[in-house]
């Protein structure tokens, strides 16, 4: 039995067969075939923070070289207490099969990662931020939890000494974003863990998250 025209890859508007991946995950804001073709053929450039990728090809170049506009760039530093690392990339679209249903993945990705740490003043804390723009499917974060603070103790039960406070949280916010007519999934994940050795009456440690970039990345497409 022949497959329908819009599921094949080669022959439906792309210059090569699209890879098909069977995945488990949550589908959100999936691009249509038309949007996926636009992202592939007309991709011109993408920028996020200091990261920028512009392959310099014309759409016609993809006919003989399907990889003419494939590539990536990064800028910054994700080491603790630095400004963070920006990354952008563009790849050939693929097909995701989720629960027996086929969805397109346009292959454009942008991300930002940063971390603040502290070991001063009787504290041992880590606060990290991840911002990812991707296509079609995402995974729910592992071990998500609201902010929680408990006593940090030392010594054997039943009467251990309270020596401070131990707090943690992990949150994930997922939203649909459209940039230059192309749909994305935006995932903002924050993770915090901290111990403050301040005795039994001291406050709970609080997260010191790096600043999240304001505004969305910039995506430019060829228009004719």
Report cis status (omega within 30 of 0) of the bond before 186: no
The count of C-alpha atoms lying within 13 angstroms of the C-alpha of 60, restricted to the half-sphere facing its C-beta, is 1
Does this model's pTM top 0.85? My answer is yes
The sign of the torsion formed by the CA atoms of 144, 148, 149, 155 equals negative
The H or E element containing residue 190 is strand 182-196
What does residue 75 show for φ and ψ, rounded to 5 degrees?
-155, 145
Residue 131: how many CA atoms within 13 Å on its side-chain side? 20
The pLDDT profile of the chain, 224 residues, written as one tens digit per residue, is 333 333 333 445 888 889 999 999 999 999 999 999 999 999 999 999 999 999 999 999 999 999 999 999 999 999 999 999 999 999 999 999 999 999 999 999 999 999 999 987 678 999 999 999 999 999 998 899 999 999 999 999 888 999 999 999 999 999 999 999 999 999 999 999 999 998 888 899 999 999 999 999 999 999 97
Instruction: Supply the pLDDT for residue 6.
Output: 39
The pLDDT score that the predictor gives to residue 12 is 55
37 membership: H or E segment, kind and range: helix 33-41
- Residue 9: predicted pLDDT: 38
């Amino acid at each position: 039995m022949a497959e329908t025209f819009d599921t094949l890859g080669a022959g439906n508007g792309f210059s090569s067969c699209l890879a098909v991946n069977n995945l488990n995950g949550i589908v959100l804001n999936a691009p249509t075939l038309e949007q996926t073709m636009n992202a592939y053929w007309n991709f011109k450039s993408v920028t996020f923070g200091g990261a920028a990728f512009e392959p310099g090809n014309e759409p016609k170049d993809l006919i003989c070289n399907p990889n003419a506009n494939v590539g990536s760039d990064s800028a910054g530093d994700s080491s603790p207490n630095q400004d963070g690392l920006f990354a952008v990339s563009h790849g050939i679209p693929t097909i995701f099969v989720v629960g027996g249903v086929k969805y397109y993945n346009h292959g454009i990705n942008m991300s930002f990662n940063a971390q603040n740490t502290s070991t001063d003043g009787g504290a041992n804390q880590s606060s990290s931020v991840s911002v990812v723009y991707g296509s079609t499917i995402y995974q729910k974060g592992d071990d998500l939890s609201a902010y929680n603070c408990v006593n940090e103790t030392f010594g054997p039960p039943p009467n251990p000494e309270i020596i401070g406070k131990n707090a943690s949280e992990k949150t994930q916010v997922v939203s649909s974003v459209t940039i230059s007519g192309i749909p994305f999934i935006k995932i903002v994940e924050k993770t915090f863990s901290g111990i403050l050795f301040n005795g039994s009456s001291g406050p709970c440690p609080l997260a010191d998250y790096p600043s999240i970039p304001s505004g969305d990345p910039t995506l430019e497409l060829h228009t004719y």
